[in-house]
């Protein structure tokens, strides 16, 4: 593994979506590593941006509230950066079904504008795009590797896929140092837990803390894999500083777990709680992808990355965080 | 093969991009079959729309000049149609590199608006999307079948791919009767031959007729497959009227030919002419895809379609057309 302090100390880093779950955790880590961090976030209600996420480091970075659809603003902000971690996005599958055009504007059109900005004013920047396992759609085999066909099952998946392909294309056509991480379920402190719009697991953290039963949809036997936020932050830092990663996309991933087992693990980590198996809600049935877990061997072979935080430990640390800071997330 | 008159007689058909090459040929055929045809075309300069393409049938259909980015216009026009052949698009790869956002607006965003219009006001319409082999990028094997991974090499390929995925997604999520044809090189009467912005073959027809040498880029050994316009029109009519095609995408394709042999065939069909092998222009090198020919067995098994017009014959008929009507296309 690389010496990340040597890589990032004193470097200028832009994080789009930096008030969100992953972006803010990345910001905490980069401030620790001595980077000069600029955050861009639109604070669109319900998208996940939360000023409390930067609590304790507000004075050590620059927070710029702006929408990545703001072309000229982004042109300015993208200049003179050494690294861009590009995490801004609309991430609710259900919202993308209701309003595909807004999803397209943010996840596809705004990405092209950002890449054009880099091409014109900062062509040597290193840029990592936060993509998603959602581009694969319903797995045809498990674990899903990078050769698996892409067949998104909702507008969000199509737009994220297009946004990712643009990053790789600009690396091929114009030599931008871009690569992409296809994230699976990420969990941990600073995630949005207000409702189930974005992730089921965030909502579960809230349910269990409020003493509500955890509701598992369907049979409970669906497989998922989850990465703890610290591991995901590591993945971003590693691919951005590994030149061989340019032009590639990489799965993250972890050991598979059934949703039922995951819910039971959560109850155990919490010390108390109840699990209920309930039928699939109508609006989610269409866009559910069945079983999923990702093969992360490509990322491992390029960077040495592998998940380090065990599920039981990660769940416990997350529960502790929300016990302490519930008021900022409820 | 189906009785197409029985299928299309008296039916209301909308053709987007209907003043263009494929759209106008489709219009001629549908008028012959007794359909009630409406054409939408934006007549954006250099995109391929040409009023002369409907010469002889202007009185037998409705021509509505409009841009498919005009959301409310499309909402109106999509209503009460039995079939929509969705061919409007920006088709120049080079233009998409210069201006990816315009390409995205037309090939991706406007498609979502059209599909939303159908979903809301005409959910039983049958819709065929004109996609492209460009979504595959550089072939990893030949002939390219529908299982081949998608990896577009220019913004046009990304946006067309997203537009296609939206059609298939809306068929899955909302039961729209949509399917998609991934066209390879199409040639024949009514194609744009003014320059090489869209297709090399159109430009060749013009070069040979003007007595200029045909310039083949690179080695001349690159493989391509070409479909004559009549065969392509057949493919559209067949998939739209075969219920099993809904939710699927299909390659077209033909026997492979080297570009050098194709140029020689063209000289032969013309009776005179010269072929030159010249180096690849810099701006095209990046987005060239190497060899390509498509496997069309899936389309054949679903509909019985196969290419019927031999290359020598198709080239001859095309040359004759432009000899007669050069003034309308030069």
Q: Please tell me chain B's helix, strand, coil percentages from 3-state DSSP, rounded to the nearest 5.
A: 45, 15, 40
Please report residues of A whose CB lies closer than 8 A to that of B129. Answer: none
Q: Which of B158, B164, B170 best tests the A interface by mutation, with the highest count of A CBs <10 A?
A: B158
CB contact A279 to B (< 8 Å): no
- Cβ of A152 within 8 Å of Cβ of B159? The answer is no
pLDDT digits (tens, 9 = 90+) for B221-280: 999 999 999 999 999 999 999 999 999 999 999 999 999 999 999 999 999 999 999 998
CB contact A162 to B (< 8 Å): yes
The alpha carbon dihedral of B134, B140, B142, B143 has a sign of negative
The beta-carbon neighbor of B149 closest among A109, A149, A154 is A149
- Cβ of B113 within 8 Å of Cβ of A101? The answer is yes
SS3 A186: strand
pLDDT digits (tens, 9 = 90+) for B138-179: 999 999 999 999 999 999 999 999 999 999 999 999 999 999
The beta-carbon neighbor of B100 closest among A100, A112, A154 is A112
- Mean pLDDT computed over A217-243: 96
CB contact A256 to B (< 8 Å): no
pTM: 0.90
CB contact B102 to A (< 8 Å): no
Bridge partners, residue B39, by sequence:
B15, B63
- Cβ of B169 within 8 Å of Cβ of A147? The answer is no
CB contact B106 to A (< 8 Å): no
Neighbours of A306 (CB within 10 A): 15
CB contact A153 to B (< 8 Å): yes
- For A73-111, the three-class secondary structure string (H helix, E strand, C coil) is HHHHHHCCCCEEEECCCCCCHHHHHHCHHHHHHHHHHHH
Counting every residue written for chain A, the total comes to: 330
How far B193 CA lies from chain A's nearest CA (Å)?
A: 27
Q: Report H helices in chain A.
A: 4-8, 21-32, 71-78, 93-98, 100-104, 110-121, 155-174, 200-209, 229-240, 259-270, 282-285, 297-303, 311-325
Instruction: Give kind and range of the element (H or E) at residue B132.
Output: strand B126-132
ipTM score assigned to the predicted complex: 0.85
- Cβ of B154 within 8 Å of Cβ of A172? The answer is no
Please report residues of B whose CB lies closer than 8 A to that of A100. Answer: 112, 116, 166
Q: Report H helices in chain B.
A: 4-8, 21-32, 71-78, 93-98, 100-104, 110-121, 155-174, 200-209, 229-240, 259-270, 282-285, 297-303, 311-325
pLDDT digits (tens, 9 = 90+) for A259-298: 999 999 999 999 999 999 999 888 777 777 889 999 999 9
Query: Residue A2 — very low, low, confident or very high, per pLDDT cuts 50/70/90?
Result: confident
How far B286 CA lies from chain A's nearest CA (Å)?
A: 6
Neighbours of A320 (CB within 10 A): 12
Which 112-141 residues of chain B touch chain A by CB within 8 A? 112-113, 116
The CA angle A289-A294-A296, to the nearest 5 degrees, is 160
In percent, how much of chain B has pLDDT > 90?
Answer: 88
Query: Residue A191 — very low, low, confident or very high, per pLDDT cuts 50/70/90?
Result: very high
Q: Which of A101, A108, A162 best tests the B interface by mutation, with the highest count of B CBs <10 A?
A: A162
Q: Which residues of A263-274 are buried (b: 16+ CB within 10 A; e: fewer)?
A: bbbbbebbeebe
Nearest chain B residue to A106 by CA distance is: B109
The beta-carbon neighbor of B165 closest among A105, A152, A287 is A152
Nearest chain B residue to A283 by CA distance is: B173
Structure tokens at B174: 């909302």
Closest CA to B65 of B44, B88, B45, B41: B41
Query: Residue B281 — very low, low, confident or very high, per pLDDT cuts 50/70/90?
Result: confident
The beta-carbon neighbor of B173 closest among A104, A147, A286 is A286
């Amino acid at each position: 593994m690389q010496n990340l302090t040597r890589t990032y100390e004193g470097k200028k880093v832009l994080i789009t979506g930096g008030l969100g779950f992953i972006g803010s955790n990345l910001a905490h880590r980069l401030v620790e590593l001595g980077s000069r961090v600029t955050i861009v976030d639109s604070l669109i209600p319900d998208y996940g941006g939360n000023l409390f996420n930067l609590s304790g480091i507000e004075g050590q970075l620059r927070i710029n509230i702006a929408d990545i659809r703001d072309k000229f603003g982004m042109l300015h902000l993208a200049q003179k950066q050494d690294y861009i971690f590009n995490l801004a996005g609309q991430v609710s599958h259900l919202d993308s079904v209701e309003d595909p055009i807004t999803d397209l504007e943010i996840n596809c059109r705004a990405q092209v504008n950002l890449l054009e900005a880099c091409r014109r004013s900062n062509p040597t920047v290193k840029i990592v795009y936060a993509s998603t396992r959602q581009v694969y759609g319903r797995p045809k085999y498990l674990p899903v590797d990078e050769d698996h066909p892409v067949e998104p099952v909702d507008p969000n998946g199509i737009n994220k896929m297009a946004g990712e392909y643009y990053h790789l294309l600009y690396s091929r056509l114009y030599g931008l140092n871009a690569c992409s991480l296809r994230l699976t379920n990420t969990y941990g402190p600073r995630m949005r837990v207000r409702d189930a719009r974005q992730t089921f697991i965030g909502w579960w953290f809230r349910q269990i803390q409020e003493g509500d039963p955890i509701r598992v949809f369907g049979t409970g036997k669906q497989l998922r894999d989850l990465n703890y936020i610290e591991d995901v932050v590591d993945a971003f830092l590693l691919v951005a500083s590994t030149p061989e990663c340019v032009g590639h996309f990489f799965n993250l991933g972890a050991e598979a777990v059934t949703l039922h087992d995951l819910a039971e693990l959560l109850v155990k980590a919490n010390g108390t709680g109840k699990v209920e198996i309930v039928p699939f809600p109508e609006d989610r049935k269409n866009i559910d992808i069945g079983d999923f877990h990702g093969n992360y061997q490509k990322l491992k072979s390029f960077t040495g990355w592998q998940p380090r935080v065990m599920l039981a430990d990660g769940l416990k640390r997350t529960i502790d965080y929300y016990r302490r800071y519930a008021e900022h997330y409820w």
